[in-house]
Amino acid sequence: MQKGAGPLPFSPAGRQNIERYDPAVDGDYTGMCMPFGFTRSVNSPYPLQIMQNGTNIAFLFEQSTWFHVVPFRSTPPENMDPTWFGTSIAKWEGDTLVVETAGFNGFTRLDTKGNPHSDKMKLTQRFTRTDAGHISYVVTIDDPVYYTKPWTNQRTFTLTNDRLLEYSCEENNRSMWEGRIKIWVPPSSEQPRIFKPGQP
C-alpha cells in the first residue's frame, strides 16, 4: 500500500477523471454549500471535535457545521442508502479507534485537489492517541473503480483547547450568481436537478 505523498495508483478511469477535472468549468459542489463528504471534511483546515458515549462516536466539523454520528457495531447494516458521508461503523482495536465506511453517493472528492472516488469506495480510518497532545490518523482508500489497489495516507492531529466556532455557508452565494463560482450539477442525469438562477 502507498503511504503518504507520491503518485496515486490510479486506474485508467481514475486517471481520466483527475486529468479532466476542472472546477472552473465543471463547478465544485462545495461552492454550493453541498456536504464536503467524510474525507474532505477531515482534510478541511478547520478543526473537528470527536465525542463518544457508550453506543456512538460523533465527528463534529467546524467546516459548514457538518456532523457524522457513528455507531459501535461489528458489522455494517445490510441496506445502505447512498449518502454524502457514507454509512460508518466503529470499533476499538486496543487503543485505536477504527471507523469503516461505505455507502457513498459518489458525488464528493477526496480532497481540494479533486482526487476522485466512486460510490464503491470503502474507507478505513484509524485514530490512535500517541500522547497527551496528538492523534495519529491513518486513512486507507479502497476504491476498485478509480484505483488499482488500496492506498494509505498518514498524518498527525494536534489537540487544542479551542472550541468549535459557528460556520455559515450560504446557498444564495453572490460569488455564484456573479460567475466567480461555477454552478455544480450532479454527474448523473438521474440525480435531482440543480436549479440555476431565474429557473422556475
Decide if 132 is inside a domain.
Answer: yes
Cα 178 from Cα 175, distance rounded (Å): 5
Contact between residue 184 and residue 28 where contact means Cβ atoms under 8 Å apart: yes
Decide if 173 is inside a domain.
Answer: no
Q: Each residue of 9-55: pLDDT tens digit?
A: 999 999 999 999 998 888 888 878 889 999 999 988 999 999 999 99
C-alpha cell of 26?
Answer: 465543471
| CA atoms within 13 A of residue 38's CA, in its CB half-sphere | 29
In the predicted model, is pLDDT for residue 190 greater than 70? no
Query: CB burial class (10 A; 0-12, 13-18, 19+) of residue 151?
Result: buried
Average confidence (pLDDT) over 47-74 = 95
- The total number of structural domains in the chain stands at 1
Decide if 102 is inside a domain.
Answer: yes
The model's pTM is 0.83
**Mean pLDDT score of the chain:** 87
Decide if 76 is inside a domain.
Answer: no
> What's the Cα-to-Cα distance from 150 to each of 49, 77, 175, rounded to whole Å?
27, 23, 38
Domain that holds residue 29: 2-70+87-160
Decide if 181 is inside a domain.
Answer: no
Per-residue HEC secondary structure of the chain comes to: CEECCCCCCECHHHHHHHHHCCHHHHCCHHHHCCCCCHHHHHCCCCCEEEEECCCEEEEEECHHHCEEEEEECCCCCCCCCCECCCEEEEEEECCEEEEEEECECCCCECCCCCCECCCCCEEEEEEEEEECCEEEEEEEEECCCCECCCEEEEEEEECCCCCCCCCCCCCCCHHHHCCCCCCCCCCCCCCCCCCCCCCC
Q: Each residue of 108-127: pLDDT tens digit?
A: 999 989 999 999 999 999 99
Decide if 180 is inside a domain.
Answer: no
Decide if 137 is inside a domain.
Answer: yes
Decide if 133 is inside a domain.
Answer: yes
In the predicted model, is pLDDT for residue 197 greater than 90? no
